[in-house]
Structure 1
């Protein structure tokens, strides 16, 4: 069982919606969660209730431009450039430090690419060194073959971005590619908070981050103690192979890579949901055994 609380996190000029899943038993570890494109934290309730039942406290927030952090139509997808996105995430992680139990960071899809970008940036070395482990659920390191945009579309978008950076553009996700559960796909389609909208600036920044990750130029340093990567091999949104290649190229001694055979993109709401939840719980708890649990406090 767990207690779920909602709140806000103030960062720079934004007030971001937050949600926390707190165990009713002693806290053994903490996880900071970063969601993906056209996504929000309340789609992760089922998995994070499982984690909380095992003594893992989870902190999530709706990123700038997404979910309940959107206060007006012009906010949709208005993430700002990569520097703003990463600063927001770093500030949220930092707000959970220092900690009496190990802290982990987990990013899904776009959020996975973002946390890699943060973890590899020398600017955040001190912060990264305080995180016990980094976890990537179907990280966006490259497009799946079905989703690769044309070169012309990318060029035209970048050109327009220089003139109208906050111009909003729809990039509709095919919900049938996210999960093998029809009722969940229907829920994504009908959820007004999954608005499929980005600004030209935000989309261009996303493409730039992804290109850097896929090029192999982004390397995680010695401050990254542990890495877990999980990806479905039938993911039609983000490239499974790009994620495997990235993981293979990281020189990290404590590294676990898990393929979910037949798995789609959103493992947390796919048919393998329970397996995924148990996998990440076990991985976290195995790396939290040396520290004494603390009493849960809301």
Structure 2
């Protein structure tokens, strides 16, 4: 877990959970934006991701370890004794949503971007066929072709990240089966999560996940304050898109409004 402290007096903390296959270094721009706007940032790499992915041929980590990681992330964020915002992107957003379905999280609000609830990209047909073979096929490896080019239309980000050795989309079929179970369980659960302000942002041209499922999930929640924004023309990674500055300002406005509502001077 890493901490980046605000440039000047901090008004809150933001804990960020990244998506599948990537790592915290892809968030350098966003971390710096939050720091310069008065927020401490707490972030790490999901189990099996980042440097840990160098040592593994494929993602095979237990999904329970992701839940434990989120607990540790929030706990680390609370040490500052400031309001905590929890932000999740892609699979990270889904993991946060699922965690909230199981228990409460002590935070001021949630920010969810491009949640994975219904994927448009799947491993090869061979992998799908092997998955029906049960335990015999659990350790069979496949590639989940979520490429940088499908995540963003920002050419500078693409050229920087396309050969990133830490971006690893090799998976075992057991891991992918657990992923599908998580998406289904999160999407279909009827009970509402705890009453927290939520900002959900999706991308109109998302090539990875169907944003309509995320919007439907949000509408099912019995919450006092929800904010939904679909960014036209954008791809999946909203904070890497050419509109990233506008996306950040929209997010910051939501956070400042939440802070005002709980009595903090912004």
Same fold (TM over 0.5): yes
Instruction: Indicate the residue corresponding to 1:142 in structure 2.
Output: 118
Instruction: Indicate which of 31, 35, 40 corresponds to 2:14.
Output: 31
Query: CA separation of 1:154/1:253 partners in 2, compared to 1, >3 Å: closer, same or farther?
Result: farther
Instruction: Indicate the residue corresponding to 1:157 in structure 2.
Output: 131
Q: Output the TM-score relative to the length of structure 1.
A: 0.81
Deviations 1:134-170 (A, max 9, x none): 11111101113xx25688844632644x245454432
Instruction: Indicate which of 88, 91, 104 corresponds to 2:72.
Output: 91
RMSD: 2.2
Aligned pair count reads: 264
Instruction: Indicate the residue corresponding to 1:252 in structure 2.
Output: 223
TM-superposed CA distance for 1:234, in Å, is 0.6
* Equivalent residues in 2 for 1:244-283, closer than 5 Å: 244-283=215-254
Q: Output the TM-score relative to the length of structure 2.
A: 0.90
Once residues 49 and 40 of structure 1 are traced to their aligned partners in structure 2, the CA distance between those partners, rounded to angstroms, is 16
* Equivalent residues in 2 for 1:91-240, closer than 5 Å: 91-97=72-78, 99-121=80-102, 124-125=103-104, 128=105, 130-144=106-120, 147=121, 153-154=127-128, 156-157=130-131, 159-160=133-134, 162-163=135-136, 165-214=138-187, 216-217=188-189, 219-221=191-193, 223-240=194-211
Structure 2 unaligned residues grouped into runs of 5+: none
More strand by share: 1
Once residues 35 and 231 of structure 1 are traced to their aligned partners in structure 2, the CA distance between those partners, rounded to angstroms, is 15
Deviations 1:191-232 (A, max 9, x none): 000011223332211111112233x325432x3411110011
Once residues 148 and 167 of structure 1 are traced to their aligned partners in structure 2, the CA distance between those partners, rounded to angstroms, is 15
TM-superposed CA distance for 1:35, in Å, is 0.7
Instruction: Indicate the residue corresponding to 2:30 in structure 1.
Output: 47
Query: CA separation of 1:143/1:53 partners in 2, compared to 1, >3 Å: closer, same or farther?
Result: same
Query: CA separation of 1:90/1:156 partners in 2, compared to 1, >3 Å: closer, same or farther?
Result: same
Secondary structure (helix, strand or coil) at the match of 1:172 reads coil
Secondary structure (helix, strand or coil) at the match of 2:47 reads coil
Secondary structure (helix, strand or coil) at the match of 1:211 reads helix
Query: CA separation of 1:96/1:277 partners in 2, compared to 1, >3 Å: closer, same or farther?
Result: same
Query: CA separation of 1:199/1:151 partners in 2, compared to 1, >3 Å: closer, same or farther?
Result: closer
Structure 1 unaligned residues grouped into runs of 5+: 1-17, 294-298
Query: CA separation of 1:155/1:164 partners in 2, compared to 1, >3 Å: closer, same or farther?
Result: closer
Higher RCO (Cα < 8 Å, 6 or more apart): 1
Once residues 158 and 224 of structure 1 are traced to their aligned partners in structure 2, the CA distance between those partners, rounded to angstroms, is 39
